[in-house]
């Protein structure tokens, strides 16, 4: 389970461990707009992580809750990477180089995520995909771009598929604070989503592009499993702080052992 935003903490970082024990395993610090922790991607300005936000990242690292930088402003995300001693993910974000939108991420953000040992999940919302269409080809184009830049080991699926899509479209039309219409990329598309039934087409398309079976298995889920497994033991463990310190040293030494390399193509 996850939280899309940190508002549920009510400004109290001690709530991180409580929610972790209740089953929350990853959390965004912001969702499009500003929070106590930092700025969302649709704010007019981005001052980066607040002091509270830095404290929050460190507490998430301590208990083993994954930090998610999707929906978050550029400067705030870069501060997250600097503050975190564990892999940081973009659970559902696409390359801005392929589709200009404030919700998409720059090459600098992509590189920083990979350097942290994290994974970028390609999102299936049409407005964020190349050509603003929710097709197999558009999703695979985003996967290919990410893999070519930082290696397939840092790529996953984060389709963000919504069951009640009519309700979501209604929210898009009424909440222009969180879903604005501006030159950075608005929400004027049909608001279609890439559906789970289309996933087999991704496998076939990646094989045609020369991705290895190992790469495809990683993209379809094993990369997420790796990141989840690299997180810390439950806070009830008496050695959790010692393990945290050891893994922080390991990350500084070799970035969790993962090299950013392009996939091999035929």
Q: Please write the tens of the pLDDT for every residue from 8-61.
A: 999 999 999 999 999 999 999 999 999 999 999 999 999 999 999 999 999 999
Specify the pLDDT at position 213. Answer: 97
DSSP state of 91: S
**44 in the same domain as 102:** no
Specify the pLDDT at position 251. Answer: 44
Cβ atoms of residues 149 and 109 within 8 Å: no
Percent of the chain with pLDDT over 90: 72
Specify the pLDDT at position 193. Answer: 92
Give dist(CA 255, CA 49) in Å, integer. Answer: 23
Lowest mean pLDDT among 87-96, 129-138, 193-202, 229-238: 229-238
Give dist(CA 109, CA 96) in Å, integer. Answer: 10
Cβ atoms of residues 164 and 127 within 8 Å: no
Specify the pLDDT at position 185. Answer: 67
Mean pLDDT throughout 80-84? 98
How many domains does one find in the chain? 2
**79 in the same domain as 128:** no
* Residue 44 parent element (H or E): none
**60 in the same domain as 113:** no
100: which residues sit within 8 A by CB, 6+ positions away? 184, 185
Specify the pLDDT at position 18. Answer: 95
Query: Is position 248 within any domain?
Result: no
SS3 40: strand
Angle, in degrees to the nearest 10, between helices 240-254 and 51-63: 110
**168 in the same domain as 102:** yes
Position 265 pLDDT exceeds 80: no
Cβ atoms of residues 151 and 259 within 8 Å: yes
**102 in the same domain as 78:** no
Angle, in degrees to the nearest 10, between helices 74-83 and 51-63: 50
**129 in the same domain as 82:** no
Give dist(CA 68, CA 59) in Å, integer. Answer: 14
Query: Is position 241 within any domain?
Result: no
- Residue 211's domain comprises 92-236
Residue-wise pLDDT for 199-226, tens only, equals 999 999 999 999 999 999 999 999 999 9
Give dist(CA 35, CA 187) in Å, integer. Answer: 22
Beta strands in 18-161 (DSSP E): 26-28, 66-68, 88-89, 120-122, 155-157
Residue ending a domain, among 39, 67, 86, is: 86
Query: Is position 261 within any domain?
Result: no
Neighbours of 204 (CB within 10 A): 12
Give dist(CA 198, CA 168) in Å, integer. Answer: 21
pLDDT tier at 244, thresholds 50, 70, 90: very low
**215 in the same domain as 146:** yes
* Residue 137 parent element (H or E): helix 136-150
**96 in the same domain as 66:** no
pLDDT tier at 239, thresholds 50, 70, 90: very low
Mean pLDDT throughout 227-255? 52
Specify the pLDDT at position 233. Answer: 54
Specify the pLDDT at position 101. Answer: 95
**45 in the same domain as 105:** no
- Rg of the chain, C-alpha, whole Å: 18
Residue-wise pLDDT for 155-194, tens only, equals 999 999 888 888 888 888 888 888 988 766 678 877 889 9
pLDDT tier at 147, thresholds 50, 70, 90: very high
Residue ending a domain, among 67, 86, 105, is: 86
């Amino acid at each position: 389970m996850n939280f899309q935003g940190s508002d549920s903490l009510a400004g109290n970082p001690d709530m991180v461990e409580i929610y972790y024990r209740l089953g929350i395993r990853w959390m965004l610090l912001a969702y499009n707009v500003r929070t106590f922790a930092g700025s969302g991607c649709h704010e007019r300005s981005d001052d980066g992580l607040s002091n509270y936000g830095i404290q929050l990242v460190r507490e998430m690292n301590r208990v083993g809750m994954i930090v998610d930088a999707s929906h978050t402003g550029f400067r705030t995300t870069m501060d997250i990477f600097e503050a975190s001693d564990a892999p940081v993910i973009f659970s559902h974000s696409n390359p801005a180089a392929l589709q200009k939108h404030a919700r998409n991420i720059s090459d600098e953000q992509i590189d920083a995520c990979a350097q942290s040992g994290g994974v970028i999940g390609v999102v299936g919302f049409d407005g964020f995909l190349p050509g603003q269409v929710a097709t197999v080809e558009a999703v695979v184009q985003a996967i290919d771009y990410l893999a070519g830049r930082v290696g397939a080991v840092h790529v996953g699926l984060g389709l963000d598929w919504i069951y009640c899509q009519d309700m979501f479209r209604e929210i898009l039309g009424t909440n222009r604070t969180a879903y604005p219409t501006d030159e950075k990329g608005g929400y004027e598309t049909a608001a279609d989503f890439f559906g789970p039934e289309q996933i087999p087409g991704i496998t076939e398309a990646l094989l045609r592009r020369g991705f290895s079976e190992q790469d495809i298995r990683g993209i379809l889920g094993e990369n997420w499993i790796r990141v989840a497994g690299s997180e810390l033991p439950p806070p009830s463990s008496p050695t959790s702080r010692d393990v945290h310190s050891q893994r922080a040293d390991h990350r500084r030494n070799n970035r969790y052992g993962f090299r950013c390399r392009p996939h091999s193509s035929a």
